[in-house]
């Protein structure tokens, strides 16, 4: 039985292999590796995203995501739900559906775990360190806003998500209110 930390580590390493010099991870095929299919919610009932077991096949899951959000937000929402499938499969099966909103959300600790793994999938440590090296940025200097912007473009994540990730990895990003 893998611990949560080990599962996060393995998933982050698998995600890191999906990056190339000029392209970040494509989250939908990555989900398929974990037997998860993604769909846009065209009925407008899903606020962010949710995940549930697939009706047709055991061990398969499906994510519904709000198509009206930005591409960056959609990617993060999908990575968050995928993280529940990787870390909290039993809870999904027990609840039938897991959704950040309402009574369908998991406890705060598990929601935070899913956010943490989502960030590691979309911005694996190894890849961030390589990019920072290419930008000639060291941990003891302030990361300029222009660098954060170019990292957002490469990783296809929002500005706040990138800043939080950089800070978690020990980089200094100044004066933003995130
Ligand atoms: Zn969640």
CA of 111 to the centre of ligand 1 (A): 5
The CATH number of the domain holding residue 95 is 1.10.10
Segments of the chain assigned E as strands: 36-40, 49-53, 61-65, 98-99
Rounded Cα distance between 131 and 152, Å, is 11
Pair 32, 54 in one domain = yes
Number of domains in the chain: 2
Are residues 106 and 19 located together in one domain of the fold?
Answer: yes
Length of the chain: 178
Is there a single domain that holds both residue 96 and residue 15? yes
pLDDT tens, residue order, the chain (178 aa)? 579 999 999 999 999 999 999 999 999 999 999 999 999 998 988 999 999 999 888 899 999 999 999 999 999 999 999 999 999 999 999 999 998 776 777 889 999 999 999 999 999 999 999 999 999 998 888 999 999 999 999 999 999 999 999 999 999 998 665 5
Q: Are 42 and 25 in contact (CB under 8 A)?
A: no
- Edge-first strand order for the sheet with 61-65 is 36-40, 61-65, 49-53, 98-99
Q: How far away, in angstroms, is 113 Cα from ligand 1 center? A: 9
Residues lying with their CB under 5 A of ligand 1, a single-atom ion: 100, 111, 114
Q: Can you give the residue range of the structural domain that contains 88?
A: 4-122
- Rounded to two decimals, the pTM is 0.94
């Amino acid at each position: 039985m893998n611990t949560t930390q080990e599962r996060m580590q393995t998933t982050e390493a698998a995600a890191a292999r999906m990056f190339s010099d000029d392209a970040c991870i494509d989250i939908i095929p990555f989900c398929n590796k974990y037997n998860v299919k993604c769909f846009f919610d065209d009925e407008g009932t899903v606020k962010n995203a949710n995940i549930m077991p697939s009706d047709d096949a055991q061990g398969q899951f499906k994510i519904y995501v709000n198509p009206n959000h930005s591409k960056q937000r959609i990617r993060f929402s999908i990575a968050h739900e995928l993280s529940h499938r990787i870390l909290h499969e039993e809870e999904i099966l027990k609840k039938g559906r897991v959704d950040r909103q309402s009574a369908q959300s998991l406890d705060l600790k598990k929601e935070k775990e899913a956010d943490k793994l989502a960030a590691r999938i979309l911005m694996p440590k190894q890849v961030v360190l390589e990019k920072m090296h290419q930008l000639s940025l060291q941990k003891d200097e302030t990361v300029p806003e222009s660098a954060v912007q170019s990292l957002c473009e490469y990783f296809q994540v929002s500005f706040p998500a990138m800043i939080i990730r950089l800070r978690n990895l020990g980089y200094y990003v100044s004066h933003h209110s995130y």
